Amino acid sequence: MKCPLCGCKTFYLKDPDDEYETYEFELHDGKVAFGPDVDSESCPEVCHDTETYCDKCSWHGAFDELADNSD
Protein backbone atom coordinates (compact mmCIF):
# COMPACT_ATOMS: atom_id res chain seq x y z
CA MET A 1 0.00 0.00 0.00
CA LYS A 2 1.32 3.39 -0.94
CA CYS A 3 0.35 7.02 -1.37
CA PRO A 4 -1.79 7.49 -4.48
CA LEU A 5 0.11 10.70 -5.37
CA CYS A 6 3.79 10.13 -4.61
CA GLY A 7 4.14 6.42 -3.81
CA CYS A 8 5.40 6.98 -0.24
CA LYS A 9 4.76 4.11 2.15
CA THR A 10 4.87 6.13 5.38
CA PHE A 11 1.78 7.87 6.74
CA TYR A 12 0.51 9.54 9.87
CA LEU A 13 -2.77 10.24 11.58
CA LYS A 14 -3.78 12.86 14.08
CA ASP A 15 -4.98 12.07 17.57
CA PRO A 16 -8.73 12.79 17.64
CA ASP A 17 -8.37 14.25 21.16
CA ASP A 18 -5.29 16.41 20.40
CA GLU A 19 -4.94 17.82 16.88
CA TYR A 20 -1.23 18.52 17.48
CA GLU A 21 -0.35 14.93 18.39
CA THR A 22 0.44 12.70 15.40
CA TYR A 23 1.24 9.00 15.01
CA GLU A 24 3.48 7.85 12.16
CA PHE A 25 2.97 4.40 10.70
CA GLU A 26 3.71 2.13 7.76
CA LEU A 27 1.57 -0.56 6.24
CA HIS A 28 2.88 -4.13 6.27
CA ASP A 29 0.68 -6.68 4.50
CA GLY A 30 -2.29 -4.33 4.91
CA LYS A 31 -1.77 -3.93 8.66
CA VAL A 32 -0.85 -0.71 10.43
CA ALA A 33 2.62 -0.82 12.00
CA PHE A 34 3.43 2.10 14.29
CA GLY A 35 7.06 2.94 14.98
CA PRO A 36 8.90 1.32 17.89
CA ASP A 37 8.84 4.58 19.87
CA VAL A 38 5.03 4.70 19.86
CA ASP A 39 3.13 3.25 22.81
CA SER A 40 0.60 0.96 21.12
CA GLU A 41 -1.86 1.37 24.01
CA SER A 42 -2.04 5.13 23.49
CA CYS A 43 -2.53 5.00 19.70
CA PRO A 44 -5.94 5.82 18.29
CA GLU A 45 -7.77 3.03 16.47
CA VAL A 46 -7.33 3.03 12.70
CA CYS A 47 -10.53 2.13 10.85
CA HIS A 48 -11.78 2.45 7.28
CA ASP A 49 -12.69 6.14 7.57
CA THR A 50 -9.70 7.32 9.66
CA GLU A 51 -8.27 10.52 8.15
CA THR A 52 -4.79 9.53 6.98
CA TYR A 53 -1.96 11.79 5.79
CA CYS A 54 1.03 11.03 3.57
CA ASP A 55 4.35 11.74 5.29
CA LYS A 56 5.98 13.11 2.12
CA CYS A 57 3.35 15.01 0.08
CA SER A 58 0.02 16.81 0.45
CA TRP A 59 -2.24 13.76 0.01
CA HIS A 60 -4.73 12.96 2.75
CA GLY A 61 -7.93 10.99 2.80
CA ALA A 62 -9.74 8.08 4.37
CA PHE A 63 -7.65 5.01 5.25
CA ASP A 64 -9.76 2.95 2.79
CA GLU A 65 -8.45 5.06 -0.09
CA LEU A 66 -5.02 3.54 0.52
CA ALA A 67 -6.42 0.02 0.41
CA ASP A 68 -8.18 0.81 -2.87
CA ASN A 69 -4.89 2.01 -4.33
CA SER A 70 -2.72 -0.99 -3.53
CA ASP A 71 -1.24 -2.86 -6.47
What are the CA-CA distances from residue 22 to residues 1, 25, 41, 59, 68 (Å)?
A: 20, 10, 14, 16, 23
- Reported residue count of the chain is 71
Q: Give the pLDDT score at 70.
A: 47
Q: Are strands 31-34 and 60-62 parallel, antiparallel or unpaired?
A: unpaired
pTM for the full model? Answer: 0.83
The residues, any chain, with a CB within 8 Å of residue 24's CB and separated by 6 or more, are: 10, 11, 12, 34, 35, 38, 55
The residues of the chain scoring below 50 in pLDDT are 70
**Tens of pLDDT along 23-38?**
999 988 878 888 888 7
- Asked whether 69 and 1 are in contact (CB, 8 A), the reply is yes
